[in-house]
Structure formats: structure tokens, C-alpha cells
Amino acid sequence: MEAVATAEARRPLRLRCSVKNYDWGMIGQESMVGRLFALNSKQDIEAGKPYAELWMGTHESGPSFVDLGQPEGERLTLKSLVEENPSVLGEKVVKRWGMDLPFLFKALSVGKALSIQAHPDKELAGFLHKTHPELYKDPNHKPEMAIALSEFKALCGFVSVKELKDVLTHVPEILELVGEESAIKFMKIQVVDGNEVVKALLQSMFTTLMTASKEAISEALKKLLSRLGEEQKVRVLTVKEELVLLLEKQYPADVGVIAAFFFNYVKLSPGEALCINANEPHAYVSGECIECMATSDNVVRAGLTAKYRDVQTLCSMLTYKQGLPEILNGDSLNPYIKRYAPPFDEFEVDYYLIPSGESVVSAEISGPSILLIISGDGRLQMGVASVTQDVSEGNVFFVPSQIEISFSAGVTRPLQIYRAGVNSQFFDQ
């Protein structure tokens, strides 16, 4: 594959991106990811096939390719492009993260629950990658942010002390699994008890649950399903109980079904965003979202999955922080652009909603960006009319650092764009 000249690399470049067909993805035409991938790759959607994630970035597990009109097999990877032309990243980005994008951009279509999982911090990621490179593909941490495109449901973080006491009181099947002695100690927790006391007891109970035998979990779930079946004849089940019934249908006899009682159940409306730091447990349940994270594919799983489970690592790595996660609503930069800025240097995401026939200028940005056209059509212009490109749904572009671009929406419908880039606050440090 031929290298791209520096001058050619210093303009917006169209990307062809990778898709993941994990079994939890939405099926065929139902999947936004499937539709975007089909438009991006000019391939047909396969009926009956799950389309879970569209990857946009430089990670080798799902590389993006620069499309300059070459035959598919001759396209340069985006990673090769930035390595050969580090100026596209900007000096400060190269100094901090080397010759690579520090963020990975995705679109997700979640048809059934993902695994109960957490992403390691940098120290643990380095250790896991060194000792098990076949499982943990890189030495990087993976804080992430999910922006809901539809109603988006997720489990995230541990419930409060009060709510967990309620669980221990009303879910006898959990009491059997974690042990009465541990449960009694937790029930006696007072406000004056320090966080370390609470964390130690929570970690002990959660680890006991997650390491219970398959036979014990299967028996507990049988009792739970039987009890809820009887109780729903005389009362309305709680939202968490309804979720547990759904998860059991998707993952029969799985410890993750019962573990759901330990986690906050979050429902995002379109436009709301969830931030997840390293070492925090979570599991997406359903819906579609835009996701951005540090460039990593490290996932430690322990339930609701047929993939490899590293239960001891997950139970030992968690922070055991309790309470509801922070929900971001984005900050308006102007009438057409909203910014989601998480507390992570590696990334931020802008959402553009440009009405039909209108235009907006995106000021010069100090770092590189990736653009995803979600819907609509129009034109992209770089600088003072030096480069223009038609844009439409499914298009993905890499935009080098320090380039001003503008967008014009077509006359028939609004243009919707998501931009991932390095967190702007990083450049103010």
C-alpha cells in the first residue's frame, strides 16, 4: 500500500470502517450499526445477522481504512496514516500519546444485554496485557462515554447502602448465596461507618455471589423465578424484577441475572450520556448509542456472556463505589452544536444538528477528529472553499488537527453529525 503524501493527509479523509457482529447486536435492517456499515462499506446487510458495533479509529482489533479511491485491498489503515504523518495529530497529542489516536469511536446497536464487565486502569491493563496478551490486547485503560440515540438501558455501578439493604431484605435467594453472616453485618452498617468498612463488606458479598457454584446459582434462579411467578399474580413487579426476568430469558442460569440486583438500573433518554470510569462495573441492556473511549479493547467479564470470564480479576479490581452515576446532557456551543466533555483527557464528543439549508462553521481544533454522519446529507468544506465534499448518512471522515471545516445541510432534511476528538480541556493545560 502506498503512503499518503503529507499535503494529501492534511485534509478531511473518507474512512471505511470495521463492523462487529457480536451476538448481542440488533439483527439485520433493525440495526442502526448494520445500516451505517452498509452505507459506509457499500455492502449489503445480511438478513438474520447481528450488527453490534461500528468501529472508527486505529485499534488493530477493528481498524479503519483511508479511502482515496484505491481497490479495497490496497487501502492504507488510518493507523499507518497517522504514523507516517504525525503532524495530523498535532504536536501536543504526539507528545502525550505518541503516534496514535488516543480515542476510539463507536456506534452500538444493543439487541440483548452485554456482559457484566469492567475496564482496567492503566496499571492493571499493563499487567493483564503482559501476562495474557491473547485476552487483553493492549496495555491501555478504557474510560468510556455512551450517548443515547434511543431509549438506552444499562446497569452501572453499585446501588446505595439503603437500596442494597432492601435487596437483602426482600430477595431471599441472594441471602442464601452471599451467606447470612455477611448479610447481617451489612444490615448493621450505620451512617457513621466509614467507606472502607462498607466497601469491604460489599466486596466480600459480591465476590461470594460471583464465585458461587453453577449448581447453587441454578437452584437460586429456579427459586427466584418461581417466587416472582407467584407474586406477580398479586402485585406489580418492580422494574428491577422485570429486568431480572428478561435477563434470565437471554442468559438462563447465569450468575449475572442475580448480580443485577447489586447494580443501578439506568434509563437514558436520547441525548443523555453516561460516563464510565476504569474499574467500574456495567452492562448495557438495550438500545442504540454513540460510544467513545480511550483507545483500548480491554474488557474483564464475569457474567451474562458466553465469552471468557475472569471473575477473580473483576471482583478484585472494582472500586465498589456506590450511588447513581453522573448523567451528562451536553453543553451548547452554539444553536447547532452540543458538546459532551467527560473528565477524561483522551476524548470528547460533539453533536451537530444542522437544519435543512443551514450552515455551521466548526472552529479549528487543536487535535484530530473523526466525524460520523448519522442522517441527512449536505456538504463539508475545508478552509476557504479549498476542499469540498458531499456528505451523507454512513460517511465517516478523519479530520487532521488545526483545520477549520464547515457543514451545509441539504434542502430536504437536517444533517446530523457526531464528532469525536481529544478533550478540548487537554489543550488548555
Judge residue 107's burial from the number of C-beta atoms within 10 Å of its C-beta, 0-12 exposed, 13-18 middle, 19 or more buried: buried
Q: Give the containing element (helix H, strand E) for 27.
A: strand 26-27
Side chain identity at residue 13, one-letter code: L
Note if 419 is an active site residue: no
Cell of 209: 455471589
* Cβ contact 403:364 at 8 Å: yes
> Among the options 11, 35, 301, 309, which is catalytic?
301
Residues 6+ apart with CB under 8 A from 32: 26, 107, 109, 149, 288
Cell of 293: 473511549
Residue with cell 476524548: 347
For 139-151, give one letter per residue: b (16+ CB within 10 A) or e: bbbbbbbbbbbee
- Which of 369, 296, 346 has its CA nearest to residue 128? 296
**3-state secondary structure (DSSP) of residue 142:** coil
Q: How many CA atoms, within 13 angstroms, populate the side-chain half-sphere of residue 179?
A: 14
For 182-206, give one letter per residue: b (16+ CB within 10 A) or e: bbeebeebeeeeeeeebbebbbbbb
CA distance 289 to 146: 6
Q: Let me know the angle formed at the C-alpha of 400 by 146 and 329, rounded to the nearest 5 degrees.
A: 25
Cell of 36: 451505517
Residues 6+ apart with CB under 8 A from 345: 96, 102, 422, 423, 425, 426
Q: Let me know the angle formed at the C-alpha of 83 by 19 and 70, rounded to the nearest 5 degrees.
A: 55
Residues 6+ apart with CB under 8 A from 19: 33, 34, 37, 41, 51, 52, 53, 54, 55, 62
Which are the catalytic amino acids? 301
